[in-house]
Amino acid sequence: MTENVGRRRTAVITGAASRRGIGRALAERLASAGWGLGLLDIDAEVEKAAAALRAEHGVPAVGAVADIADPDSVHAAVCAFEAELPPVAALVNGAGVSSPVPFLEADLATWERVMRTNATGTFVVSRRIVPNMAERGYGRVVSLGSTAMQNGGGTYSKSVYAASKGAIEAFSRALALEVAPRGVTVNVVAPATIDTDIMGGRITDDRKPAFLAQLPVGRLGTTHDVAALIEFLLGEEAGYITGATYNINGGLRIG
C-alpha cells in the first residue's frame, strides 16, 4: 500500500460507543490521522460517535448498531461500511464485557454470556472481515486481550473473563499463522487497569488506592495509552509483527 492509497482506508472498530472507552479513544485518534471509520457497537450511541467524527475531522465515518456475536447483524453492519467507506484495511476487536463473578459463584449463564460476547463475537466479526482482507492481500487485525488471561484473573474481572480472553489470544495466534501469507497481520493488545466503565464503572477516589497498590508505574492506564499502541500496530510499518501479544499494564505483570 502506498502512502496515497493508505489514506483511502477504513478501520472497523467494535466497541466504539462507550464515551470513556478504548474503542472511542482509538476512533478519535485514527480520525485525526485521516482514517475512514466503521464503528460497530450494541449501543446506539455509536451512531452519534460516528457523526461527531465526521463533523470534527471531516473523515468518512459510519456507526452501526450490531451485536458482535450475531452473524446477521454483523453482516448488515459490515455491508453498510463496505457500501459507504473506503476499503477495510484494519479491524480492531474491542467490544467486550467484564465479569467480576468468582468461580464459586459463577453459573453456566455467566460463562455463556461472557464467552458469547468476548470469544464468539471476536470470531464472528473476524470471520466477516478477514476473508476480504486476505483476498486483497492486505490487512491489520488487533484484538483486545487482557492481563487477566496471563495473571490468573484481573484486577477486577475473574476466571470466566480470563478464559474468554485466553480464547481470543489463542485464536489470534493461530489466525495470524493462517493469514500471514495473505498479507494480513493479527496481534493482541493486553491491557490492565485502564480507567473505563468496564472496570465496574468509574474508578473513583475511594476505589483507586487498591488498584494503584498493584501498579508499579504508580498510575492507572488511560485509553490514550492503549489507542497509541493499537494505532502503531495498525500502521503499514508494523507489517513484520504478527501473532504477538503486547502487554500494556503499568508493570502489573512483567514478561
Ligand X SMILES: NC(=O)c1ccc[n+]([C@@H]2O[C@H](COP(=O)([O-])OP(=O)(O)OC[C@H]3O[C@@H](n4cnc5c(N)ncnc54)[C@H](O)[C@@H]3O)[C@@H](O)[C@H]2O)c1
Q: Which residues are catalytic?
A: 161
Kindly state the smallest distance separating residue 49's Cβ from ligand X, in Å: 9
Per the listing, cell 449501543 goes with 43
Residues paired with 241 in a beta bridge: none
Q: Does 15 sit near ligand X (CB under 6 A)?
A: yes
Kindly state the smallest distance separating residue 59's Cβ from ligand X, in Å: 20
Kindly state the smallest distance separating residue 37's Cβ from ligand X, in Å: 14
CA distance 104 to 35: 45
Q: Does 163 sit near ligand X (CB under 6 A)?
A: no
Residues 6+ apart with CB under 8 A from 250: 192, 193, 215, 216, 217, 219, 220, 221
# binding residues, ligand X (CB under 6 A): 30
- Report yes or no: 92 and 23 within 8 Å, Cβ to Cβ: yes
- Report yes or no: 30 and 37 within 8 Å, Cβ to Cβ: yes
Kindly state the smallest distance separating residue 170's Cβ from ligand X, in Å: 16
Q: Does 95 sit near ligand X (CB under 6 A)?
A: yes
CA distance 106 to 165: 17
For residue 109, the Cα-to-chain-centroid distance in whole angstroms is 24
Q: Does 67 sit near ligand X (CB under 6 A)?
A: yes
Torsion angle of C-alpha atoms 5, 6, 7, 11, degrees rounded to 10: 130
Which range of residues in 2-10, 13-21, 51-59, 102-110 is near ligand X by CB under 6 A?
13-21
Which range of residues in 28-36, 38-46, 53-61, 239-247 is near ligand X by CB under 6 A?
38-46
Work out which of 12, 21, 142, 247 binds ligand X, going by CB under 6 A: 21
∠ Cα 89 136 72 (to 5°): 70
* Complex with ligand X: residue 30 or 95, whichever CB lies closer: 95
* Complex with ligand X: residue 195 or 236, whichever CB lies closer: 195
Q: Does 198 sit near ligand X (CB under 6 A)?
A: yes
Where do contacts with ligand X occur on this chain (CB under 6 A)? 14-15, 17-18, 20-23, 41-43, 67-69, 94-97, 117, 121, 144, 146, 191-194, 196-199
